[in-house]
Chains A and B, each alone.
Chain A
Amino acid sequence: MPEKILFKYIDEPGQDTIKVYMKNGGYTALPKVLKEYTPDQVTDIVKESGLRGRGGAGFPAGVKWSFVPKDSPKPKYLLINADESEPGTFKDRQLLERDPHQLIEGSIIAAYAVQAHTGFIYIRGEFGYGAKQLLRALSEAEEKNFLGKNILGSGYDLTIHLHRGGGAYICGEETALMESIEGRRGLSRVRPPYPAIVGLYGCPTVINNVETLSNVPHIINKGAEWFASMGTRKSTGTKIFSLSGQVKRPGNYELPMGISLRELIYEYGGGIFEDRELKAVIPGGSSTPILTPDKLDVKLDFESVVEAGSMLGSAGVIVMDETTCMVNVAWRLTRFYQHESCGKCTPCREGTYWMLKILERIENGKGESGDVELLLDICNYIEGYTVCPLGDAAVPAVRSTIEHFQEEYDYHIRNKTCMVKGKPVFK
Chain B
Amino acid sequence: MDNSKVKLTIDDREVEVPKDSTILEAALSVGIDIPYFCWHPNLESVGACRMCLVEVEKMPKLVASCVNPVAEGMVVHTNTEKVIKAREKVLEFVLTNHPLDCPTCDKGGECDLQDLTYDHGPMMTRYREDKVRWIVDTHYRFDDLQLGPLIYRNQNRCITCFRCVRITREIFGYSDLGVFGRGSKTHISAPGGEKFLNEFSGNTVEYCPVGALTARNFRYKIRPWLCEQTPTVCPMCGDGCNMTAWSHQRKGHIRNTSRRNDSIDEGMLCDRGRFGSVFSNHPDRIKSPMIKEGDTFREVQWEEALGFIAEGIKKIKSESGPEALGGIASDLVSNEEAYLFSRLMRQGVGTNNLDFRGDRKSLLGAGALKILFEMQKMSVPLEKVASFDTVFVIGTDIASTHPIYTMWLKRGIRKAGLRVLAANSRKLDFGIYSVQNFTYRPGGELALLLGLLKVIVKEKLYSDAGPFRGGQFSRWANSLQKTNYDTIAASCGLSEERISILARALAESENCLFVVGQDLWEGPLGSSCLLAINDLAVLTENNGNPRGGVNLLFDSGNYLGALNWGLTPDYLPARRHREDKVGREKIESLWNCRLPEAEGFDTIKMLEQIRKGNIKGLYLYQSDLLCDFPDWEYIHDCLSKLDLLIVHELFLTETAKMATVILPATSFVETEGTFTNTEGRIQRFQRGAAPSKGVRESWQTLSRLAQKLGAEFVYENPPEIFREMVTLSSDAAGLDYDKLGARGRIVALAERVFEPALYEVEFDSYTSGDSDYPYPLLTGDLVYHLRHLTNYNEDMMLVAPEAHLEISPEDAKSLELKEDDTVRVESARGALEVKVAISKKSPPGVVFLPRNYSDKNVNKLRDREKTLDYVRIAKA
The answer to whether A190 touches B90 (Cβ under 8 A) is no
- Asked whether B182 lies within 8 Å of A341 as measured between CB atoms, the reply is yes
Flag if A347 contacts B90 (CB, 8 Å): yes
- Check A385 against B184 for contact (C-beta < 8 Å): no
- B23 CB, min distance to chain A CBs, angstroms: 13
A358 within 8 A of B: yes
Please classify the interface of chain B as helix (H, G, I), strand (E, B), loop, or mixed, using the class held by over half of its residues.
loop
- Indicate which residue in B69, B90, B94, B127 contacts A385 across the interface (CB closer than 8 Å): B90
* B45 adjacent to A350 (CB under 8 Å): no
Q: Is B89 an interface residue (CB 8 A)?
A: yes
* Chain A, range 332-376, C-beta contacts under 8 Å to B: 338-347, 349-354, 357-358, 361, 374
Name the B residues within 8 Å of A387 (CB-CB): 47-48, 50, 64
Residue A168 lies at the interface, judged by CB distance under 8 Å to chain B: yes
Closest Cβ of chain B to A236, distance in Å, is 27
What residues on A are CB-neighbors of B126 within 8 Å?
374
Per-position 1/0 for A20-49, Cβ under 8 A of B? 000000000000000000000000000000
Q: Of the candidates A345, A351, A353, A357, which one forms a contact with B48 in the assembled complex, judged by CB atoms under 8 Å apart?
A: A345
CB within 8 Å for A190 and B45 given contacts A343-B185, A347-B50, A349-B160: yes
Asked whether B184 lies within 8 Å of A343 as measured between CB atoms, the reply is yes
Report B19-60 residues with CB < 8 Å from chain A CB.
Answer: 45-51, 53, 60
Give min CB distance, A74 to chain B, whole Å. Answer: 14
Q: Is A386 positioned at the interface, with any CB of B under 8 Å from its CB?
A: yes
- Nearest A residue to B98 via CB reads A350
Check B86–A385 contact: CB distance below 8 A: yes
A384 at interface by CB-CB < 8 Å: yes
Q: Which residue of A lies closest to B183 (CB)?
A: A341
Question: Is B93 engaged at the interface, CB distance under 8 Å to the other chain?
Answer: yes
- Output the nearest chain B residue to A370 by Cβ-Cβ distance: B126
Flag if A357 contacts B129 (CB, 8 Å): yes
Q: How far is the CA of A49 from the CA of B69 in the complex (A)?
A: 35
Q: Let me know if A381 is at the binding interface, CB within 8 A.
A: yes
- Minimum C-beta distance from B357 to chain A (A): 48
Q: Are A384 and B61 in contact (CB under 8 A)?
A: yes
A330 CB, min distance to chain B CBs, angstroms: 16
Question: What residue in chain B is nearest A339 (Cβ atoms)?
Answer: B183
B2, chain A: closest CB distance, angstroms: 16
Q: Does A136 contact B (CB under 8 A)?
A: no
Pick the contact of B94 from A342, A346, A386 — CB < 8 Å? A346
CB neighbours (8 Å) of B130 from chain A are 357
Q: Could you tell me the distance in whole angstroms from the C-beta of B170 to the nearest C-beta in chain A?
A: 13
- Residues from chain A with Cβ under 8 Å of B69 in the complex: 192
Q: Give the residues in chain B near A338, CB-CB below 8 Å.
A: 183-184
Q: Judge whether B93 and A343 touch: CB under 8 Å.
A: no
Interface size for chain A: under 10, 10 to 19, 20 to 34, or 35 or more residues? 20 to 34
B residues less than 8 Å from A346 (CB atoms): 48-51, 90, 93-94, 159-160
Indicate the member of A185, A347, A350, A353 with the most B CB atoms within 10 Å. A350
B47, A345: Cβ atoms closer than 8 Å:
yes
Chain B interface residue bracket vs A: 35 or more
Q: Contact mask A319-341 → B, CB, 8 Å, 1/0? A: 00000000000000000001111
Which residue among B45, B126, B132 has the maximum number of chain A CB atoms within 10 Å of its CB? B126
Distance in Å: Cβ of B652 to nearest Cβ of chain A: 52
Judged by a CB distance under 8 angstroms, whether B135 is at the interface is no
Chain B residues closer than 8 Å to A345, beta-carbon distance: 47-50
Choose from A168, A347, A357, A384 the contact partner of B93 (Cβ within 8 Å).
A347
**In the complex, what residues of A have CB within 8 A of residue B160's CB?**
343-344, 346, 349
A385 touches B45 (CB 8 A): no
| A349: chain B residues within 8 A (beta carbon) | 93, 160, 183-184, 186
B692 within 8 A of A: no
Could you tell me the distance between the alpha carbons of A347 and B186 in the complex, rounded to whole angstroms? 14
**Hey, which chain B residues are within 8 Å of A386, CB to CB?**
50
Choose one: A168, A185, A192, A361; the contact of B129 (CB below 8 Å). A361
Q: When chains A and B are docked, how far (Å) is the Cα of A342 from the Cα of B50?
A: 15
CA distance A185 to B51 in the complex (A): 23
Contact B182 A342 (CB under 8 A): yes
A354 partner residues in chain B, CB cutoff 8 A: 93, 96, 127, 129
**Shortest beta-carbon distance from B156 to chain A in Å:** 14
Could you tell me the distance in whole angstroms from the C-beta of B50 to the nearest C-beta in chain A? 5
Q: Which residue of B lies closest to A353 (CB)?
A: B184
Residues of chain A lying within 8 A (CB to CB) of residue B67: 190
Contact indicator A351/B183 (Cβ below 8 Å):
no
Q: Which residues of A contact B129 (CB under 8 A)?
A: 354, 357-358, 361
Closest to B187 in A: A343
Residue B183 contacts which of A192, A342, A374 (CB distance < 8 angstroms)? A342
- Smallest Cβ distance from B62 to chain A, in angstroms? 7
Measured CB to CB, the closest approach of chain A to B161, in angstroms, equals: 9
A192: chain B residues within 8 A (beta carbon) = 69
Q: Which of B51, B86, B93 contacts A351 (CB 8 A)?
A: B93
Distance of A353 Cα from B127 Cα, bound (Å): 11
User: From residue B173, how far is it (CB to closest CB) to chain A in Å?
Assistant: 15
- How far apart are the CA atoms of A358 and B51 in the complex, in Å? 24
- What chain B residues lie within 8 Å of A190 (beta carbons)? 45-47, 64, 67
Nearest Cβ on chain A to B178's Cβ, whole angstroms:
9
Of B45, B62, B93, B162, most buried by chain A (CB within 10 Å of CB) is B93
Q: Does B181 make an interface contact (CB < 8 A)?
A: yes
Given A190-B45, A190-B64, A346-B159, A385 and B185 contact (CB-CB distance below 8 Å)? no
Q: Which residues on the A side are within 8 Å of B60 (C-beta)?
A: 384
> Taking the nearest CB of chain B, how far is it from the CB of A198, in angstroms?
12
Task: Determine whether the beta carbon of B62 is less than 8 Å from that of A385.
Answer: yes
> Whose C-beta in chain A lies nearest to the C-beta of B37?
A346
Most A CB within 10 A of own CB, among B49, B94, B127? B127
A384→B93 CA distance, assembly (Å): 15
With A343-B185, A344-B48, A346-B94 given, is the CB distance from A381 to B89 under 8 Å? yes
- Chain A residues, CB < 8 A from B46: 190, 344
A64 to B424, CA, bound (A): 51
Q: Please indicate the chain B residues that have their CB under 8 angstroms from the CB of A342 in the complex.
A: 182-183, 186
> Inside 8 A of B145's CB, which chain A residues have their CB?
none
- Closest chain-A Cβ to B175's Cβ sits at a distance in Å of 11
B732 interface residue per 8 A CB criterion = no
Taking CB atoms and an 8 Å cut-off, the chain B residues in 74-106 that contact chain A are 86, 89-90, 93-94, 96-97
Contact between A343 and B86 (Cβ–Cβ < 8 Å)? Answer: no
How far does the Cβ of A46 sit from chain B's closest Cβ, in whole Å? 29
Contact B179 A350 (CB under 8 A): no
In angstroms, how far is the closest chain B Cβ from the Cβ of A219?
33
A341 — nearest CB in chain B belongs to which residue?
Answer: B183
Nearest CB on A from B286, distance (A): 53
Q: How far is the CA of A339 from the CA of B182 in the complex (A)?
A: 8
> A350 to B86, Cβ gap below 8 A?
no
Shortest Cβ distance from A188 into B: residue:
B47
B56 to chain A, nearest CB (A): 13
**B90 adjacent to A340 (CB under 8 Å):** no
A87 CB to closest chain B CB (Å) equals: 16
Closest to A170 in B: B182
User: Closest chain B residue to A344 by CB distance?
Assistant: B48
B186 to chain A, nearest CB (A): 3
In the complex where A340-B183, A343-B185, A349-B160 touch, is A384 in contact with B62 (Cβ < 8 A)? Answer: yes
Question: For window 179-227 of chain B, which residues contact chain A by CB distance below 8 Å?
Answer: 179, 181-186
Interface residue ranges, B against A (CB under 8 Å) = 45-51, 53, 60-62, 64, 67, 69, 86, 89-90, 93-94, 96-97, 126-127, 129-130, 132, 159-160, 162, 179, 181-186
Chosen A-B contacts, 9 in total, with CB atoms closer than 8 Å, are A343-B160, A343-B184, A344-B162, A347-B90, A354-B127, A358-B129, A385-B61, A385-B90, A387-B48
Given contacts A342-B183, A344-B46, A387-B47, 8 further A-B contacts (CB under 8 A): A168-B182, A341-B182, A343-B160, A345-B50, A346-B93, A346-B160, A361-B129, A374-B126
Report A's interface with B, CB cutoff 8 A.
168, 185, 190, 192, 338-347, 349-354, 357-358, 361, 374, 381, 384-387
Q: Which 5 A-B pairs have the closest CB atoms?
A: A343-B186, A357-B129, A341-B183, A350-B93, A381-B89
